[in-house]
Structure 1
C-alpha cells in the first residue's frame, strides 16, 4: 500500500514558494503507485508537532496548478526553530509519532538555513528510532545565502522587483531633483548577506543612473566616505539614489538598525536603517530626501516574478519528490550553473549536513573596490536570475490567485504539550 508524504513551508515566504509546492504535489500525484497522499503542515513544522495536517488530495488539479503563479505560503509558514536533538528530544520524537500515526514515509521541508538544519535533525532522530523516513530539504530564501547551490528560489524574483523599483524611482527623482528631492534611499532585505542590495545595482546601466550607491552588510559603514560620495554624486548628477541592506553594520560590527528585540529563530529584529541613512544625509548635507521600505512587497510581488526563478522553483519541487522516492535521505536538490551566456543550469544533490546553518555571503570580488557598487563579475552572476517574465493570469485587472480549501486530516493523537 502506498505511504504518504509530508510537505511544509518554513520561514519568510517568497513569490515562488507555492510554485515549488505545485511541483511537489503534481509530481507526487504522478507517482500514485508509490505515494498515497501529500499532507501539508499547517504553519510549517508546527503542523507536524500539533498534528495539524492538511489533506491536499482534496484540492482539484486546477487549484494545485494555480499554486504555480500564486504568492505567499498556501499552507501557512512559521518561524520556529527546533533545538538540538538532546536538548529537545521530545519534539523530534513527537514528529516521528505523528508521521507514524499517518503513515508518512517522506518529509519534504521547504525553507532556508534553519529549515535545512531541521530536516537534517529529523533524519537523524528517525534513524535512531528505527522509523523508515526519507528527509529532503528544498531550498528557499530571498536572501540567496544557502550554500551548496548556485542560487536560491525566491531570490531571482526579489532581485527583479528591487532592480525595477530602483530604476523607476530613479527616473522619478531625477525628474524633480533641480527643485525638490535630491536623495532617495531604499532599504532592502538582507540581514547578513548583501545579495538583494547588489541586485538593485542592476538598474544602473551608466554611472548617471540609479542607484549611485550600494551599502552592503559585508562592508562596514564608513560615514565620512559615504557622505563624501553622496555629495559628489549630487554635484555631478543633481540627485543620489541609494540601496541599503537592513543588515548594514558599523565599523564596530554592530547593526545600525537593531531594535533590541529578536524573532523566533533568535535573530535580531531589524528595520529603519533606510531612514537613518536618509536623515544622516539631511543633517550633514542638508538635502531633501525620500526613503522607501519595500518590506513584504519585495518578496510577495508575483506579478513581476523572474521567469528563471519560477522555472527553477518548480523544477526543484519535482526533483525533491524524485529524490524522496529514490530513498535519497538527508539531501537537498541544488542548482548548478553550467554557463552564464547562454545561461544554463542543472539540478544536482547536496547533503543537508553540508547546508544546515551555513550562510553564503557576497564574495568580495562581487563588490567594487570602494565598497559602494557591484562589479562586472557580479552583474554576470545576477543578470540571468532576473530574466524572463512569468505573469499570472489576470481577471478584472488583478492577478487571479488561488485560495485552497486546506481541509484538515482527522487527528488521532493526544495534543502536544511541548
Structure 2
C-alpha cells in the first residue's frame, strides 16, 4: 500500500448518522495506520486548505461520534460545475491534495457530491496524480441511484413515522371540539420517500395518515380538498402528510419560496402552511400544521439501528476500497431479502450514481395516489427497525460528542475563489 494521507469531507445536509460513517472511516483508517485529515465545512475546507488533523481525536471521541448527530467536521452546500466551467476550483483542490500528500479522497454526500468526486478523479488522472476518489452515500431523501437505500434515510423515516403516529393520537383526542385537520410537511424535493415512510404510522383504512401527497404525483387541489372533507366526515378528523416537493399540473412547486440555493435548486418551504390555509378557507375546518424541517435529519435520539449499521458499514467499506485502489466508486447497500431482512455492501461506479435521482416506484404508491402499497411497506419497514439510542447524561440530555480538533498548518497561498 502506498504512503499518503486520506482526506474525508462531508457534503450537503447532514443526517442523524453521518457522524457514524465518519466514526467508521476513522476507525478503519487507524486500523490500517493511515493518517486522516478532515475538511472543515466540506469541500469549502478543501478549497480553503482548512484541514483538520483527526489524529488528535481520542478513541473514545471517535467512538462517540457514532451516536452524535450533525456534522462533526462541518458540511456545506457547494455545487462544483463542470471541469471546464470550474476548472480553477478543481485545480485548486488538486493543489491542496498535492501539498498534503492526499492519496485517498472520501466524499460523504449525495448525487451532486458523487459527481464532484467523479470529476476530481478525472482531473487527477489528467494530471497523472495518484489519487483514489470514493463517494460515500448519505441523504435522508433516499434518492441515490443504485443503492437499495441510503444511510440517513432510515432514521429520518423512523422519526417521521413515529411523529405522525403520535400527532395523530393527539388530533384524534381533540377532534370533537378542536383541530379537525393536521398537516405534516416532509422533506423531499423530487422523491417522496420520507412522505411514504409516514405511511408506516398506520395500517388500517381509517388509520393516520389518511392522505399522503407525493412529488411523483400531480397535485390536484380540488380533489385533495374533497378527499380531506370526506375523511373528516367519515373518521372525524384527517391527518395529511405532504412532501415539500409537490407540484401542480403546470410543473410549479406548490411551496416555491422563490430563489435558488447554492446547488441551484429551487428553495422550498411552507407547503403545509399553504395547504392549511386552503383547507381552512375552502372547508372551514380548524387546521394545525407542522414543519419539522431539520428535526427530521437531526433526530439521533430516535435513530434506526438498521440505519446506524448501514452508515458504519459504508464508512468501513469506503476505506477498504480506497486503500485497494478502487477509484471513482461508491459502496452501496444491496438488499438480499425482505423477510428476514438481509443486506450487504457492494461497490458501484460513480458514473452510475452521479447526478441521477431515484424516485418512488409506481407500484409503491396506491392507485388513488394518496397512500402507500403493501410493497412499499415491505421495503420501508426493515429500514426503521431497531432502536439505537445514544447514552444519556445525568442532566437528562443525550451525551453527544463535540471534539475540538486542531487544524493543520497551511502550505499554500490563501484561496480567494
**Structure 1 length-normalised TM:** 0.98
Deviations 1:360-416 (A, max 9, x none): 000111000010000000000000000000000000211000011121000010011
- Counterpart of 2:406 in structure 1 is 407
Q: Which of 213, 216, 235 in structure 1 is aligned with 2:214?
A: 216
Choose the corresponding residue for 1:376, options 370, 374, 377.
Answer: 374
- Indicate the residue corresponding to 2:415 in structure 1: 416
Aligned to 1:333: 331
Matches within 5 A, 1:77-96: 77-96=75-94
> Secondary structure in 1 aligned to 2:125?
helix
Q: Which residue of 2 aligns with 1:27?
A: 28
Partner SS for 2:197? helix
Measured in 2, the distance between the counterparts of 1:406 and 1:58 equals: 6
- The Cα shift of 1:260 comes to 1.3
User: CA separation in 2, counterparts of 1:59 and 1:375?
Assistant: 46
Partner of 1:149: 147
Task: Write out aligned runs for 1:205-244 (5 A).
Answer: 205-244=203-242
The SS at the match of 1:346 is strand
Between the aligned partners of 2:181 and 2:114, the Cα distance in structure 1 is: 40
2: CA distance, partners of 1:301 / 1:265: 24
Q: Which residue of 1 aligns with 2:123?
A: 125
Please give the secondary structure, in 2, of the residue aligned with 1:148: coil
**Distance apart, 1:131 and its partner CA:** 0.3
CA displacement 1:75-123 (0-9 Å, x = unmatched): 0000001111011111111111111111110000000000000000000
Deviations 1:251-301 (A, max 9, x none): 111101111111000001111110111111111110001000000011000
Match of 1:249 in 2: 247
CA deviations 1:298-329 (Å, max 9, x no partner) are: 10000000000000000100000000010000
Gaps of 5+ in 2: none
Taking the TM superposition and a 5 Å limit, the aligned residue runs for 1:71-220 are 71-220=69-218
Bigger mean CA deviation after superposition, 326-335 or 398-407: 398-407
The structure 2 residue matched to 1:320, chosen from 318, 321, 335, is 318
For residues 87 and 259 of structure 2, the distance between their equivalents in structure 1, rounded to whole angstroms, comes to 27
SS of the residue corresponding to residue 332 of structure 2 reads strand
Q: List gaps (5 residues or longer) in structure 1.
A: none
Distance 1:279 1:90 in 2: 48
Question: Could you tell me which residue of structure 1 aligns to residue 44 of structure 2?
Answer: 46
Tell me, in whole angstroms, the C-alpha distance in 2 between the residues paired with 1:186 and 1:265. Answer: 26
Quote the residue 2:4 is aligned against: 3
- Taking only aligned residues, the RMSD between alpha carbons, in angstroms, comes to 0.7
Q: For residue 268 of structure 2, what is the aligned residue in structure 1? A: 270
Partner Cα distance (2:220, 2:79) in 1: 35
* Partner SS state of residue 346, structure 2: strand
Matches of 2:164 and 2:73, distance apart in 1 = 32
Secondary structure of the structure 2 residue equivalent to 1:395: coil
Show CA shifts across 1:198-253 (max 9, x none): 00010012122211000000100111211111111001110000000010100111
2:346, 2:171 → 1: CA distance? 44
Q: Distance in 2 between matches of 1:353 and 1:417?
A: 31
Q: Which runs of 4+ in 1 moved over 3 A?
A: none
Aligned to 1:221, the other structure's residue is in SS state coil
Task: Tell me, in whole angstroms, the C-alpha distance in 2 between the residues paired with 1:217 and 1:328.
Answer: 36
Shift of residue 151 of structure 1? 0.3
Deviation at 1:2, TM superposition (A): 3.0
How many Å separate the matches in 2 of 1:325 and 1:104? 12
- Report how many residues are paired: 415
- CA deviations 1:317-353 (Å, max 9, x no partner) are 0000000010000000000000000000000111001
TM-score by length of 2: 0.99
Q: Which residue of 2 aligns with 1:304?
A: 302
